[in-house]
């Protein structure tokens, strides 16, 4: 088992063709090691691995999913990820989607993959009223198709490229607009109980995904193929977090740590903590103090 990230004798080409042409700079090596270390930490923290399982790694063509794919293959190469990996792209029929980019990339980089075409875009356009955002329905249709593909391929997990910033943004969207404290869990069992949904990049900053995919010159597909909607709640929350981060660098990491340090007894949710048992002990058998009693006015 090769577990030394500081080993100087391994080249990126030896790891996997996904690392072909990787920069040899010290800065890039540090970035890669940080990505691998933080991904491994998330996988171990949330007990994601069951040896012998098969993971469907969802590839949108964005910077995050490219980073996910590369890091998982490095962990597998190092003997730290004893599962089979199958990359999958769901072409949802968005106008302008470059359908040949991902198949050519995955074939060239020797990545086992499946490309699926399902025109969910037309369904979304038909069902969503003019002026409303497409994301909620689009996401549900995409998830349903990915679950189906995972079952057809004999996978036990659907693996997504959501990172730390996605998790934070979802938390604030739920806080501001949903009236609940909730976010994206790093590990989730679906309602049917037959598939895990995993987010191994849960500890990784979006900026690191951006740096990695740009340095690797991966063919990133824009995320606004269905039309960039500036009124999206997520866009607004992202701007707010960017502003906070600019004023106090490191604020995002502090807020994420807070999500991992929840105190149920300090939140006013009676379903989360049993407040009915909180009464002072009975001191009636103890001698009464001579101190004057302060009576409520």
What residue numbers does the annotated binding site cover?
135, 138, 226
Q: Is 280 helix (H, G, I), strand (E, B) or coil?
A: coil
Considering only CA atoms, give the Rg of the chain. Answer: 24
Q: What are phi and psi of 91, to 5 degrees?
A: -80, 110
What is the b/e burial string over 212-234, where b = at least 16 CB atoms within 10 angstroms of the residue's CB?
A: bbebbebebbeeebbeeeeeebe
For the chain, how are helix, strand and coil distributed in percent, rounded to 5? 45, 10, 45
Q: What are phi and psi of 199, to 5 degrees?
A: -130, 80
Would you give the distance in Å from CA 190 to the centre of its chain? 16
Instruction: Summarize the annotated binding site for [4Fe-4S] cluster as residue ranges.
Output: 135, 138, 226
């Amino acid at each position: 088992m090769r577990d030394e990230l500081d080993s100087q004798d391994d080249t990126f080409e030896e790891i996997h063709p996904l690392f072909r042409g990787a920069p040899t700079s010290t800065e890039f090596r540090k970035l890669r090691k940080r990505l691998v270390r933080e991904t491994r930490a998330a996988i171990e923290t949330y007990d994601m691995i069951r040896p012998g399982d098969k993971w469907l790694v969802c590839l949108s063509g964005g910077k995050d999913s490219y980073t996910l794919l590369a890091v998982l293959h490095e962990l597998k190469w190092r003997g730290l990820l004893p599962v089979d990996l199958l990359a999958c792209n769901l072409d949802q029929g968005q106008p302008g989607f470059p359908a040949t980019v991902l198949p050519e990339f995955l074939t060239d980089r020797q990545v086992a993959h499946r490309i699926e075409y399902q025109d969910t875009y037309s369904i979304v356009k038909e069902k969503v009223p003019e002026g409303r955002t497409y994301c909620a329905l689009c996401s549900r249709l995409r998830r349903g198709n990915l679950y189906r593909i995972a079952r057809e391929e004999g996978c036990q997990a659907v693996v997504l490229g959501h990172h730390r910033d996605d998790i934070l943004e979802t938390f604030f969207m739920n806080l501001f607009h949903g009236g609940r404290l909730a976010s994206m869990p790093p590990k989730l069992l679906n309602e049917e109980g037959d598939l895990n949904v995993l987010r191994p990049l849960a500890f990784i900053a979006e900026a690191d995904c951006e740096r990695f995919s740009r340095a690797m010159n991966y063919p990133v597909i824009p995320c606004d193929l269905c039309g960039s909607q500036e009124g999206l709640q997520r866009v607004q929350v992202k701007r707010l977090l960017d502003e906070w981060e600019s004023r106090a660098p490191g604020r995002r990491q502090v807020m994420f740590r807070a999500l991992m340090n929840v105190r149920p007894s300090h939140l006013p949710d009676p379903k989360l903590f049993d407040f009915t048992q909180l009464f002072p002990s009975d001191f009636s058998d103890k001698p009464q103090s001579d101190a004057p009693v302060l009576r409520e006015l």
